[in-house]
Amino acid sequence: MIDPKTLASRFPDDFIFGVATASYQIEGAAREDGRKPSIWDAFSHMPGRVHNRDSGDVACDHYHRLDDDLDLMEDLGVETYRFSIAWPRIIPDGRGPVNEAGLDFYDRLIDGCKARGLKTNATLYHWDLPLTLAGDGGWTARSTAYAYQRYVQTVMKRFGDRLDLVSTFNEPWCVVWLSHLYGIHAPGEKSMDAALAALHTVNLAHGLGLEAIRQEAPDVKAGIVLNLHAVYPVNETDADREAAERSFQFNNGVFLDPLFKGAYPDGFMAALGDRMPAIEDGDLDLISGKLDWWGLNYYKPDRVADNSGSDAEFPAITVGAPVHNVITDIGWETYAPAMKMLTEQVYQRYDLPVMYITENGACYNMAPVNGIVDDTPRTEYLSSHIAIAADLVEAGIPLKGYYAWSLMDNFEWAEGYQMRFGLIYVNYETQERTLKNSGKWYKALAEEFLEKGKND
């Protein structure tokens, strides 16, 4: 691993280091203070959907341990906190009455960050759609985009004066494909037609949400967070290179092109355009509204081969095996240079604003031994990827910050509590928090960076 002082010296003074979490993964208090169920509450309580039938009912009990957790963050030495706001706490039925107790919780969170000198980066949607809206079709229904816009107006009217950054969505790829085509995330559908409907609704909701942010809080820097895929062909053949391009369009382009070009990708539309929902006049203008920043969530590379000779639907690919043998406990290949390849690729293809790496981290499941969590592989992962972030800055990419995923172990969606990404170990029985060795390393990096800024 790289010495924190050496690494800190490579970043400009206006760079920021932070940590990230998400509401359903940490808050718990699922039935308290007016909150109503989300699609994840329903999904996680269905047999066979989530490992061990785990749920976010209690999670890390962050709702009740807010001040202690903010103190842990302050002690880490980071400058910024990326968190998400739970729509079911704010407007419990998705539309209708606003829940004052939910707003009060985020008042305490945001004010607590400010009191500790932490910049605030709020995600407006991190997958916890109010369950009532699922009865109307959820993200497959155009009406959900307008319900989302009203939710954004409510949030920004209340908190806009205290937020530094805000993003409309976290990882629309997961909301669309993972949730409606592959059936792995809530609501668990496996339908291309449902996924295509959700694709346009989510993109439209982003545009409507951005409009609401501009109206209610024009001074807040607004963006979106994307988990773009770093796609490599399995073989350097024309067929596999074409497969990689189709994969790029399907996984990345269906979000990037509407956002930054005002259209869906040509190859994607040629294959699936006749099954898309109605794209109404003005939709693409809304979706492509000017952003102040964008966030990249990166964990692993993707390797794909051509499968167009079969009857497979677009993108007609097969997934290749990992090339490098460093595999995390969740089974993901570790390859830091892919983060640089991907970032440079999208800046070549699109006219993009400044960016942040909004999530990056590794799943390793080591437990405390005599009060120590020796998770050296996670530290190696963070070290190599933060070095790539420094390479990107030096290469002229307008990268302004890095957020480690995650502050603490938490509910890892379909994987339940068996997979751990945190810098802080959580004992889910006692809710005791233990700073891992990776967290100690990240703290040393953050503190070295702040000290460097004072001395420059």
Q: pLDDT grade, residue 235 (50/70/90)?
A: very high
Sign of CA dihedral 292, 297, 303, 304: negative
Residue 273 to residues 182, 192, 202, 285: CA-CA distances in angstroms?
Answer: 20, 12, 16, 18
Determine the Cα–Cα distance for residues 88 and 102; give it in Å rounded to an integer.
8
Q: pLDDT grade, residue 172 (50/70/90)?
A: very high
Q: pLDDT grade, residue 13 (50/70/90)?
A: very high
DSSP assignments along 54-119, one per residue:
--TTTTT-TTTSHHHHHHHHHHHT-SEEEEE--HHHHSTTSSS---HHHHHHHHHHHHHHHHTT-E
Per the annotation, the verdict on 359 as an active-site residue is yes
Q: pLDDT grade, residue 114 (50/70/90)?
A: very high
Whether 288 contacts 261, CB under 8 Å: yes
Question: Phi then psi for 243, rounded to 5 degrees?
Answer: -65, -40
Please report which helix (H) or strand (E) contains residue 443, including its range: helix 437-455
What would the pLDDT profile of 236-263 be if each residue is shown by its tens digit? Answer: 999 999 999 999 999 999 999 999 999 9
Q: pLDDT grade, residue 393 (50/70/90)?
A: very high
Candidate list 27, 171, 380, 448, residue with the active-site label: 171
Asked if pLDDT for residue 456 goes beyond 80, the answer is no
Q: pLDDT grade, residue 289 (50/70/90)?
A: very high
Helical pair 66-76 and 437-455, crossing angle rounded to 10 deg: 60
Determine the Cα–Cα distance for residues 130 and 137; give it in Å rounded to an integer.
12
Please report which helix (H) or strand (E) contains residue 304, including its range: strand 301-306
Residue 30 to residues 26, 35, 38, 341, 432: CA-CA distances in angstroms?
Answer: 11, 7, 9, 40, 20
Determine the Cα–Cα distance for residues 312 and 314; give it in Å rounded to an integer.
7
Per the annotation, the verdict on 245 as an active-site residue is no
Residue 152 to residues 90, 129, 147, 157, 409: CA-CA distances in angstroms?
Answer: 10, 13, 9, 8, 28
The whole-number pLDDT of residue 310 equals 85
Whether 126 contacts 32, CB under 8 Å: no
Percent of the chain with pLDDT over 70: 100
pLDDT, the chain, mean: 98
**Could you tell me the domains of the chain?**
4-455 (3.20.20.80)
Candidate list 189, 333, 359, 448, residue with the active-site label: 359
Asked if pLDDT for residue 1 goes beyond 90, the answer is no
